[in-house]
C-alpha cells in the first residue's frame, strides 16, 4: 500500500495562495491582450482604491515560493499571524518587488481577508524588509531557485544519498533513501525553522552515466515515491 505524505493546514493555505499568484499573473497577461484594456484597468484601480488596507509589522516564520512571488507567514506582536501574498503583479512590477527570508523583519501594506481561520494579506506595497543576521539565507536563495523548476523539467538528484520523508519534518516517517542519479520531479519548496525542504516525486529511473551505482543499472523499487527531502542536508538537484 502506498503511503501518501500528510499536508498540514498551513501548507494547504500557503499553496492556495501561491495558486492565486499564478492566477493574478495570468489575468494580468490576459488583460493586456483584451480590448478596452484602459477601461478594465481603471475598473480594477477603482476597486482597489475602495478596498480597506492595513499595515502589518512582524517576523517571517515560513515561506513558500511560487513562480511569480511567494507567501510569507508573518508573526506580528498585536495582530496575530498573517499569510502574506507577495507577487510581482500585486506590488506593481519588478521594480517594487523584494524577496524576504525566514527571520527577516518585514513591514507590508495590503488588503486583508480570511480563508477559514487563516488571516491573509494581499500585499500591495513592501514598506521595508530588514534582513536577519544568519547564514540560513542561503537556503532561501536555493528554495527560490528550485521553485522555478517545473515538474516537466528533466531533473536528477546529485546528493550521494538523501532520505525521503512523508512530511517536511525530520521526525516524520521515512519513505526510504535515494541516491545520486535518480530522476525526480520538483513539486514545491518551503523553508521551515531555517531548514530547506523540497517536495519531490522520484520516477525510479536513472540518468545516463549513473547506472554503475545501481544493481543492473536500475532502481530496485516500485511505484512513484513522493515526499520531502532536505532538513539537515541541503538537497542538491540538477536540471537541463
Q: What is the pLDDT of residues 147-160, one digit of tens each?
A: 899 999 999 999 99
- Inter-residue contact 117 to 147 (CB < 8 Å): no
**Domain limits, the chain:** 9-130, 137-239
Q: Would you state the pLDDT for residue 222?
A: 66
List, for residues 18-40, the tens digit of each pLDDT value: 666 655 555 555 545 544 545 54
pLDDT (0 to 100) of residue 14: 67
CATH superfamily of 9-130: Nucleic acid-binding proteins (2.40.50.140)
180 bridge partner residues: none
- Choose among 133, 125, 124, 147: nearest CA to 102: 133
Looking at residue 213, its pLDDT comes to 82
pLDDT above 90: residue 15: no
pLDDT digits (tens, 9 = 90+) for 116-159: 999 999 999 999 999 876 555 677 788 889 989 999 999 999 99
CA atoms in the 13 A half-sphere facing the CB of 111: 10
Q: Which of the two residues, 41 and 89, has the higher pLDDT score?
A: 89
Q: How far apart are CA 181 and CA 206, in angstroms?
A: 6
- List the grid coordinates of 87: 507577487
The tens digit of pLDDT for each residue in 155-193 reads 999 999 999 999 999 999 999 999 999 999 999 999 888
Mean pLDDT computed over 81-89: 96
Name, in order, each residue with C-beta under 8 angstroms of 3's C-beta and a sequence gap of 6 or more. Answer: 166, 173, 175
| Contacts with 222 (C-beta within 8 Å, 6 or more apart), sequence order | 204
pTM score above 0.85:
no
Give pLDDT tens digits for 195-217.
899 999 999 999 999 988 887 77
Amino acid at each position: 500500500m502506498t503511503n501518501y505524505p500528510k499536508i498540514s493546514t498551513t501548507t494547504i493555505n500557503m499553496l492556495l495562495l501561491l495558486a492565486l499568484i499564478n492566477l493574478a499573473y495570468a489575468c494580468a497577461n490576459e488583460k493586456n491582450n483584451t480590448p478596452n484594456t484602459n477601461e478594465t484597468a481603471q475598473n480594477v484601480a477603482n476597486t482597489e482604491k475602495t478596498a480597506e488596507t492595513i499595515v502589518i509589522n512582524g517576523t517571517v516564520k515560513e515561506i513558500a515560493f511560487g513562480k511569480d512571488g511567494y507567501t510569507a507567514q508573518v508573526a506580528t506582536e498585536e495582530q496575530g499571524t498573517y499569510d502574506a501574498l507577495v507577487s510581482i503583479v500585486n506590488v506593481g512590477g519588478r521594480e517594487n518587488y523584494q524577496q524576504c527570508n525566514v527571520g527577516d523583519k518585514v513591514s507590508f501594506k495590503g488588503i486583508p481577508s480570511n480563508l477559514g481561520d487563516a488571516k491573509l494579506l494581499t500585499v500591495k506595497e513592501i514598506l521595508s524588509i530588514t534582513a536577519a543576521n544568519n547564514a540560513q539565507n542561503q537556503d532561501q536563495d536555493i528554495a527560490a531557485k528550485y521553485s522555478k523548476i517545473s515538474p516537466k523539467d528533466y531533473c536528477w538528484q546529485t546528493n550521494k544519498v538523501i532520505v525521503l520523508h512523508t512530511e517536511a519534518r525530520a521526525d516524520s516517517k521515512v519513505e526510504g533513501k535515494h541516491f545520486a542519479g535518480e530522476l525526480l520531479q520538483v513539486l514545491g519548496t518551503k523553508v521551515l525553522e531555517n531548514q530547506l525542504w523540497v517536495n519531490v516525486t522520484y520516477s525510479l529511473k536513472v540518468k545516463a552515466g549513473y547506472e554503475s551505482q545501481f544493481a543492473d543499472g536500475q532502481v530496485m523499487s516500485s511505484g512513484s515515491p513522493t515526499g520531502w527531502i532536505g532538513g539537515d542536508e541541503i538537497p542538491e538537484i540538477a536540471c537541463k
